Amino acid sequence: MTVFEDARGPNVRVLRQAQWRLSPAELEALIADYEAGARVCELAKVYDLHRTTVAGHVARAGKTRPVMTEAQVDEAVLLYGRGWTLHNVSQHLGWPSSSPGPRSAC
């Protein structure tokens, strides 16, 4: 427990979490790791941040994941329709196959 004094007298508050900021070098490393393919959840654990904080840093840096072209989507649909596994389709197209689904948790 920490006691703070102000004009009204002593105030007792429990500080749940100390705030700290990434240094410019740490922020650059986080963005570089993201660009290298690290997932937001992984980066949150590595840098001891909340996943939405990591996502905010990435967004403010203007970084996004590459998007498949329409031709790549068409090819992926064709290959998957021919019985290819998603893993094999993603490897064929040069995309990481470990992408989490929309409901994956950190």
Q: What is the pLDDT of residues 22-80, one digit of tens each?
A: 999 999 999 999 988 888 999 999 999 999 999 999 999 998 877 788 999 999 999 99
Residue 18: pLDDT band (50, 70, 90) is low
Over 50: is that where the pLDDT of 90 sits? yes
Q: What would the two tokens of residue 16 be?
A: 């749940």
CA–CA gap between residue 36 and residue 47 (Å, rounded): 16
In this structure, which amino acid lies at residue 69? T
pTM value? 0.56
The per-residue pLDDT for 103 is: 46
